[in-house]
Amino acid sequence: MDCMTSTSATLLKRLQRPDDQAAWDRFVELYTPLLYYWARRMRLQEADAADLVQEVFALLVQELPRFDYDAQKSFRGWLRTVTLNKWHEKRRRMAARRETCTDPLPELCEPDPADA
């Protein structure tokens, strides 16, 4: 995992411009290992961890252009919260699907492994 000691306020500012592809490329390069590390610490399998990382990035593409960075707060703490919330959201959706399933074959009520 890349050892980051601080978050670049300049990079976060550049991410407010969605057309700054170099900034997004750099952000993905820097933060993918950290997000993946967190996902694996949640005991997700490799593929599921990669899926969660992609879901977090998809959300960040929407959120970071309007994100107001406060140097007094932890960006990585916020990012970890976003990641945990995305994981919990996914788990709730899977649980709801199992609860509402009325198929006579119980194994068909289990979540599709492709969705997990």
The model's pTM is 0.75
**List of residues 6+ apart from 98 with CB closer than 8 A:** 109, 110, 111
Domain region containing 97: 9-109
Rounded Cα distance between 84 and 91, Å, is 11
User: Is 2 contained in some domain?
Assistant: no
- Whether 108 shows a pLDDT value over 60: the answer reads no
28, 30, 34, 39: CA torsion to nearest 10: 10
**Best CA proximity match to 59, nearest among 91, 82, 42:** 82
Is residue 71 classed as helix, strand or coil in its secondary structure? Answer: coil
User: Is 77 contained in some domain?
Assistant: yes
CATH code for the domain in which residue 38 is found: 1.10.1740.10
Query: Which carries the bigger pLDDT value, residue 114 or residue 42?
Result: 42
User: Is 25 contained in some domain?
Assistant: yes
User: Is 3 contained in some domain?
Assistant: no
- Give the helix/strand (H/E) hosting 9: helix 9-14
Number of domains in the chain: 1
Looking at every residue in the chain, the average pLDDT score rounds to 83
Q: What is the pLDDT of residues 18-44, one digit of tens each?
A: 789 999 999 999 999 999 999 999 999
User: Is 29 contained in some domain?
Assistant: yes
User: Is 55 contained in some domain?
Assistant: yes
User: Is 1 contained in some domain?
Assistant: no
